[in-house]
Structure formats: C-alpha cells, structure tokens
Amino acid sequence: QKEVEQDPGPLSVPEGAIVSLNCTYSNSAFQYFMWYRQYSRKGPELLMYTYSSGNKEDGRFTAQVDKSSKYISLFIRDSQPSDSATYLCAMSANRGSTLGRLYFGRGTQLTVWP
Amino acid sequence: NAGVTQTPKFQVLKTGQSMTLQCAQDMNHNSMYWYRQDPGMGLRLIYYSASEGTTDKGEVPNGYNVSRLNKREFSLRLESAAPSQTSVYFCASSEADRSSGNTIYFGEGSWLTVV
C-alpha cells in the first residue's frame, strides 16, 4: 500500500462548478500537507500549504486536513478553464529522518470546460 | 527569478549510452532532489541530498547516480541508459525546517527518451 493514495481521475466539470479533490494517507507522522498544481509539460508548483489539521483558504481555493481520518481535501470554487491541470497532494513528517522528504499522491487530472 | 534550472529539456538516447542531467538552484536551499514522473505512477523520488556533501537513495535509485557538486548544483547520471528510464525527470530543492515543513520547488522538467 502506498503511503499516499489519490484518485487519478480524470475529472471533468463545467466552468463555475465546485471541485473537490481528495487524498488519503496511512502514516500518522505526517504533519505538513501540500497541494501542487501541474500544467501540461510543466513542473509542479505549490498551490496550498497546511500544517496539521484544519482549514486554509486562499481566494477560490480551500485546503482541509482531517488527521483523525487521515484525509485531506482541496476545494476549488467557481472553477475556471485556467484551473485545468493535474493536482498532486503531498505530505511530510516533522520528526526523524523523514523530515525533508515529501510523499506524493499520483495526481488527479482536472478539466474545466467552458 | 530563476529558481530551479535543469538541463537539457529534451534528450533522446540510445540504449547503453550515458548522460548527465544538470540542475542548479539559486534559492540557497540545503536540500535537493531528483524525481521521475511516469504516467499512472506519479512522482517517484530517485535520490535526494539533504545537505551539501550528503546523498541518499529514494524509492527508485537503481540505474542512477548523483553528485552534489556544491550547495547550488545536484546532477543525475545515467551510466547505461535503458528504455525503462524513458521518463520526465524533475529536479527540486527545498529548505526544510520545523516552521514551514518542507516546501519543494520544482524545475521545468527534462524529457528523456531511450530508444
């Protein structure tokens, strides 16, 4: 079992829809949770970062972490065609030798059509 | 604002040939990484260097070697390329600390095809 599981999709939604992207994980040591966005033929870029449990909002994007369920989510409100990309979740621990190593999900491919 | 720069962007190799992917970062980060990305497999860590002078194996190190030349540069070498090494390679860097966790910054990628 991979440490981080993410449904690869693809996910296709109309413009203006609310998008929900999710990951589950197995390692209770994970404390830092990130979402990366990757456009076609580009490198991943950091979109959202959250420490421990709770919510974080940035414009149309909201990241949620539920450590009790080992489940993280990214919500995109009023989705736009420019949001079409692959979204990767990533996480890391804060103790021991694993500090500094990120564990990635496989990525979910999202298409927002006009 | 260069960030992480990797070269070459595209390369075609014949089986058995060798090559080195170069990577440099200008953010004064201690940690650097090499990942490969394959369809359906996501990002997989090949090697990483937590600090200058140290390197460690990741998930898929076989067939690769690395060199942390200095704090800025981290190269990935394929000694004898195989078709299974056809992939997109990403170099990355980070400054891991307890206040920010580990935010990794990626280069633009190197598309490698081994025929």
Among A56, A53, A75, which residue's Cα sits nearest to residue A66? A53
Choice between A18 and A8, residue whose per-residue pLDDT is larger: A18
Choice between A59 and B95, residue whose per-residue pLDDT is larger: A59
Whether A100 contacts chain B with CB within 8 A: yes
pLDDT at A104 over 80: yes
pLDDT at A112 over 90: yes
Tokens standing for B52? 């200058």
Do the beta carbons of residue A112 and residue A16 sit within 8 Å?
Answer: no
Is B109 in Cβ contact with A42 (below 8 Å)? yes
Give the single-character DSSP code of A40: T
**What's the pLDDT score for residue B96?**
63
Kindly compute the dihedral angle of the four CA atoms of residues B22, A103, B105, B33, in this order, to the nearest 10 degrees. Answer: -20
DSSP secondary structure letters along chain B: ---EEEE-SEEEE-TT--EEEEEEESS--SEEEEEEEETTTEEEEEEEESSTT--EE-S--TTEEEEE-SSSBEEEEESS--GGG-EEEEEEEE--BTTTB--EEE---EEEEE-
**What's the pLDDT score for residue A87?**
97
21-80 in A: which are within 8 Å (CB) of B? 31-32, 34, 36, 41-46, 49, 51
Dump pLDDT digits (tens) for A76-97: 999 999 999 999 999 888 644 4
Residues of B in contact with A94 (CB under 8 A): 98, 101
Q: How far apart are the first and last CA of chain A?
A: 37
CA-CA distance, A97 to A14, in Å (whole number)?
A: 43
Is A100 in Cβ contact with B48 (below 8 Å)? yes
**What's the pLDDT score for residue B97?**
55
Dump pLDDT digits (tens) for A12-65: 999 999 999 999 999 998 888 999 999 998 999 999 988 888 899 999 999 999
* pLDDT, averaged across chain A: 90
Mutate to test the interface with B, among A34, A102, A108 (most CBs of B within 10 A): A102
Mean pLDDT of B1-23: 94
Instruction: Tell me which residue in B40, B43, B105 faces A88 most closely, judged by beta carbons.
Output: B43
Residues in chain B: 115
